[in-house]
Amino acid sequence: MPEKISLAEKFQRFDDHWAPRIISRYNSNEVRIAKVSGDFHWHKHDQSDELFLVVSGTLDMEFRDSIQVLHEGDLIVVPAGIEHRPRARNGEALLLMIDADGTPNTGDPETAFKPVEI
Amino acid sequence: MPEKISLAEKFQRFDDHWAPRIISRYNSNEVRIAKVSGDFHWHKHDQSDELFLVVSGTLDMEFRDSIQVLHEGDLIVVPAGIEHRPRARNGEALLLMIDADGTPNTGDPETAFKPVEI
């Protein structure tokens, strides 16, 4: 039978930034968590929307023509194919994310951090 | 361009229980929020897993042979086809949920609360 997952407990299991871990699966998607700090790079995912929920901290989600500043309890869905750059400019932020199975976090399978299950 | 969504702001928009609202869409899924209190009934969703994240309060997720007690920051994915009964026995709980588009919250299209977008 299914078991509950504590986000707080899962976040204790790693410390590296921009390196998502898989904590569960939903239909054909990976439920991921990540710790982020500083800038990521511009990228996009052609095959999947990407959902972000800020669990703690502040996340800037930059688009080519706008920016959204997310705080704890804010959520955003970046549609497939839309270029975005996530940045955490006020220290570490903790994120819950959902991506279609196998979506490369960098937008490029060559450079992606392969998320492992924890 | 995509805009952020504040869960707290969305929860202020309604007060009824067991009546999910759609706050966003991710691939072919609905991102829903619900306020719950007391017992729901046994049901299942044959076509979709169902993800629950407890935003506040306590949620008991009963299965036929076990029970999981979720607190704030706990998540569970109920696989498609698995009977479950959600209950909030310690006052109101606030939930974030993800379901495939059009999934009836009661498990039965005849009795389902048709979630509206807010």
Residue B46 CA to residue A47 CA, distance in Å, equals 25
Taking the CA of residue B110 and the nearest CA in chain A, the distance in Å comes to 24
Contact A4 B74 (CB under 8 A): yes
Is A46 at the interface with chain B, CB within 8 A?
Answer: no
Q: Please give the residue of chain A at the shortest CA–CA distance from B48.
A: A27
In this structure, the dihedral spanned by the alpha carbons of residues A94, A75, B102 and A102, taken in order and rounded to 10 degrees, is -40
Contact A29 B24 (CB under 8 A): no
Give the mean model confidence (pLDDT) for residues B24-51. Answer: 96
Q: Please, which pLDDT band fits residue B74 given cuts at 50, 70 and 90? A: very high
Other C-beta atoms within 10 Å of A69: how many?
Answer: 15
| pLDDT (tens digit per residue) in B83-100 | 999 999 999 999 999 999
Contact B4 A69 (CB under 8 A): yes
Where chain A has pLDDT below 70, the residues are none
Most distant CA pair in chain A, distance: 46
List chain A domain ranges.
7-100
Q: What is the pTM of this model?
A: 0.96
pLDDT at B12 over 90: yes
Question: What integer pLDDT is reported at residue B9 of this predicted model?
Answer: 98
Long-range CB contacts for residues A2-5, cutoff 8 Å, separation at least 24? A2/B61, A2/B63, A2/B68, A2/B76, A2/B77, A2/B78, A2/B79, A2/B82, A3/B68, A3/B76, A4/B61, A4/B68, A4/B69, A4/B70, A4/B74, A4/B75, A4/B76, A5/B74, A5/B75, A5/B76
CATH topology of domain B18-100: Jelly Rolls (2.60.120)
Burial of B77 (0-12, 13-18, 19+ CB in 10 A): buried
Give the mean model confidence (pLDDT) for residues B90-116. Answer: 93
CB A61 within 8 A of CB A68: yes
- Which CATH code of 3.40.50.300, 2.30.110.10, 2.70.98.40, 2.60.120.10 fits the domain covering A7-100? 2.60.120.10
| Chain A interface mutation, best of B7, B9, B21, B26, highest count of A Cβ atoms under 10 Å | B26
Q: Please give the residue of chain B at the shortest CA–CA distance from A78.
A: B2
